[in-house]
Structure 1
């Protein structure tokens, strides 16, 4: 088993090598799409050029010169006019040119604090020109006061402002700013530990919480504040461990991007902390995982890594947030069933989160147990969904979760897309007119679809579509050890058994199904008739759902 430092060095080496090979554009940058990538990649290249302990195949002198050149170009395009409305900021993308691109408030939020870390860690190895440029830039960030905002939503933006208050307050001897940051940190920790995070499973923004507070923890010298930062990070890593399975983030998400679903690829911080899966070659969000590290408590790591003692059910209350309105007693409810081989569940309530990126339910597999995508799910697409995107779900869905079964009904009104779409991992699949029965790693998975469907096998996934304004999907999974107890011999035997266990679909969008555990499940999603969700005739007890 490798150490955290060894895994960080591996990340630095891989990204530095990519940066070394990446051609310099005519404008002096490595990338035009996101200015922050220039900072991240140049930082890694610089680190590899000055640290002989890091494996690097290239000329270290040339690598350092290249890294410093990119960093100098980056610092030069900061708005350094105190009279400007975008004082202290950078453009997000560099088109049509770095000088003409409009400034954006996002880059400095995280990158500003990380620049302090970079300047302090490598102060002895920096050239005089870069050292002076960095100090000038950091002074402008401090004087821009971008971080002086009150707490309101307790989200990832404010987490970064809080860390910046501490970091810049300490750097420039601003005791009042440090105290403001400390009070904001205390209020934030108290809020999330008492109520939970409104940004449940919000990727990649969760990692911005982790990076911002880890950066502060590594820089802050005040022992009292550092202890409070440690308590905040202990909470964050406990939250991550709860929904962790071999690099996968299981359960529902308030927000996702294409690199979060249907395959977890934003995994560098998980790799550094846990190291129980292979480091991928594709790293879409490099950020500062190779530099920042806070080792989670042993019990937290055990929660994440040791799933062999048996399945667990995680039932959570989540504070609801719509825009900036916080409702103290208004909660969503998430459910996840986790085994050592798969996890499944989701969120009971539909809510239109920011950019309509709520991910309602799925089945997740550990990264190293699959080839290609590691999540399987279906949904009805929203009218605003971009072509080819497997996000942006509509509101016309009802769900029922119970252990290794997920039931979803789709009652689609006129004027909406009259089909559902789905994504399944690659595996050995047996297709019948009423469903798909497959083996993914050591997991058997049954997928019943009410209406006729079409499956397309792609390079890294199976893509499924099914037409009809009324539709339903029922999913049940078992692992091989459980299958053996049921005397299931192989995937063909499983398919035969499950094909005889078809759900019953009623006239009012009702689904009834008896699971392999012989539990009777009923989902009726007809708004006119009232919505029923019953397990063995009992209504789901949401009073058992807790904050943590």
Structure 2
């Protein structure tokens, strides 16, 4: 096996072991919350059962039988009635019972293509009844036509439709459908390379792009189509490499789930591709990382794995590129990256899908703090939130990014929650009335907060709250090597120096960085917001698509 294949085998072995030991529910499934997890876990269990190169401690015959039975249960609840409005679909969750659960358009989008892959890869190992049941389900998927939709938003749904067109067009010798898939692939590639991806940093959306097109690349036989899929996958892995830091996804996100922030745990595809961190025991989105793989270009691997010189990444991103009239409607992302940390975010606030935009943070490589979180950030909550929820940010924030400094101001109206939340990694922290100074791995971090705050040390993070309708935060980071070059030779010396650098808070926030850059963030509600660096206004002309 290659190193990549060894990492995939490790994933398969771990998930198969979990599937083998997990008891089957009374309804015949392993999971009720998301039907797709049953397919994924059964696939991994089946793979371990039939492949002697996969480490597996259980009875392989018993494991294969269990995997096949779960597959049968899954295939039986597909809507196979051509006259139905949900023809070809599955329920998403299985309550109150799998048979009564409402059908949903989401499962088949990715799972349908992966079923084709599974049926083809393991054809010689499948029992005759399961092979027939899979073929029947795939035929219903093909005839359902769920994927026959024109491109409009160039997002993850359409990426999956495009892959399905290619895969099903080839499998059923449907030349018209195959050509539609080719045309959709070309149009998507042209649009994202010219304008960028509107779903910036959106997990798991990004991985659905990768899985859909990798699945098509694995299955498609025609060399010319395969080359065009390689172009798309090279582009996607270049995007990933650009924002990669030891398994972390740095910079702003158009969407975050609890497994994306404040700790990166949706990392299986990163582990297979880059392998520069330990495979975590927690795997919240297994999907098909153990099966599908595409070798990223050498240039992308170098970008991801050899960060020595600090860089600034300035990008313009389309808000929505479904029509030509929105072509110039862009937002601007800024990231400063070193080999030890990265920081930055999105200058503009957008109410993204489910209000899950993640505006800014400081990111560290996975494992920097053991099992603790690897992101630090503050935000004003959009509404009253459950305890521990660190998502759903309001619009009452203005930001300034410059190299190793992030500044944020919060002017909160009286009808909104009167506090900001913060998350900091575990480390050695010195707490003062309006500041926190931390040694986080090999990085010194200073956090200045305009109002009084409360810090609670939890098992995997520090949770911070600060009350007040007007608030502000300034964060500056520097790693030990750069600090030493500035004459800062210890954490205590860093703390003593930063005590003298308290920002000026008011209608504007003024701060001078360790590198003597003068930063000014004006947030007077009666004036236009302005961000000034060394007496110069922010200029977005240097922000590019790539």
**Band the TM-score falls in, shorter-chain normalisation:** over 0.9
Q: How many pairs are equivalent?
A: 545
1:318 aligned partner: 317
Q: 1:324 to 1:57 in 2, by over 3 A?
A: farther
In the alignment, what sits opposite 2:511? 513
For 2:446, what is the secondary structure of its paired residue?
Answer: strand
Match for residue 301 of structure 1? 301
Which residue is equivalent to 1:266?
Answer: 266
Q: Which residue of 2 aligns with 1:522?
A: 520
Task: Compute the displacement of 1:490 (Å).
Answer: 2.3
The answer as to 2:529 corresponding to 1:531 is yes
Gaps of 5+ in 1: none
- Three-state SS of the structure 2 residue aligned to 1:167 is helix
Q: Could you tell me whether the CA contact under 8 Å between 2:356 and 2:392 is conserved in 1? A: yes
* Structure 1 match to 2:328: 329
- 1:54 maps to which residue? 54
Q: 1:320 deviation in Å?
A: 1.0
Match of 2:355 in 1: 356
In structure 2, C-alpha distance between the alignment counterparts of 1:91 and 1:399, rounded to whole Å: 42
Helix, strand or coil for the counterpart of 1:263?
Answer: coil
Q: Secondary structure at the match of 1:368?
A: coil
What's the CA shift for 1:214? 0.1
Shift of 1:496: 1.4
Q: Residue 469 of structure 2 aligns with which residue?
A: 469
Residues 266 and 284 in structure 1, CA contact (< 8 A), matched pair in contact too? yes
Aligned 8 A contact 2:404 2:477 in 1: yes
SS for the counterpart of 1:124 is helix
Normalization by structure 2: what TM-score? 0.98
For normalisation by structure 1, the TM-score amounts to: 0.98
CA distance in 2, matches of 1:168, 1:385: 43
The corresponding residue for 1:206 is 206
Question: Which structure 1 residue ranges, 4+ long, deviate > 3 Å from structure 2?
Answer: 322-326, 384-387
Structure 1 position 486, deviation (Å): 2.2
Aligned-residue CA RMSD in angstroms? 1.3
Distance 2:168 2:322 in 1: 29
Q: Deviations over 1:142-182 (max 9, x none)?
A: 00000001000000000000000000110000000000000
Asked if structure 2 preserves the Cα contact closer than 8 Å seen for 1:322 and 1:353, the reply is no
Q: Within 5 A, what are the aligned runs for 1:104-143?
A: 104-143=104-143
Aligned to 2:541: 543
- For the residues of structure 1 that align with 2:219 and 2:185, how far apart are their CA atoms? 15
Structure 1 residue 505 displacement after superposition: 1.0
Following the alignment from structure 1 to structure 2, what is the Cα–Cα distance between the partners of residues 245 and 235? 18
Q: CA deviation at 1:384?
A: 6.1
Give CA deviations for 1:173-209 in whole Å, capped at 9, x if unaligned. 0000000000000000000000000000011110000
CA distance in 2, matches of 1:326, 1:484: 51
What displacement does 1:322 show?
A: 9.2
Quote the residue 2:433 is aligned against.
433
CA distance in 1, matches of 2:68, 2:77: 15
Aligned pairs (5 A) from 1:211-226: 211-226=211-226
Q: Tell me, yes or no, if structure 1 residue 4 matches structure 2 residue 4.
A: yes
1:511 CA displacement: 0.3
**Alpha-carbon distance between aligned partners in 2 of 1:423 and 1:236, rounded to the nearest angstrom:** 30
Cα deviation, 1:488-515, whole Å, max 9, x if unaligned, reads: 2322221111111100012x2x000000
Segments of structure 2 that go 5 or more residues without pairing to the other structure are none
Q: Given that residues 384 and 392 in structure 1 are in contact (C-alpha distance below 8 angstroms), is that contact kept between their aligned partners in structure 2? A: no
User: How do 1:440-455 residues align onto structure 2 when only pairs under 5 Å count?
Assistant: 440-455=440-455
Q: Distance in 1 between matches of 2:304 and 2:515?
A: 26
- Shift in CA distance, 384/491, structure 1 to aligned 2, threshold 3 Å: same
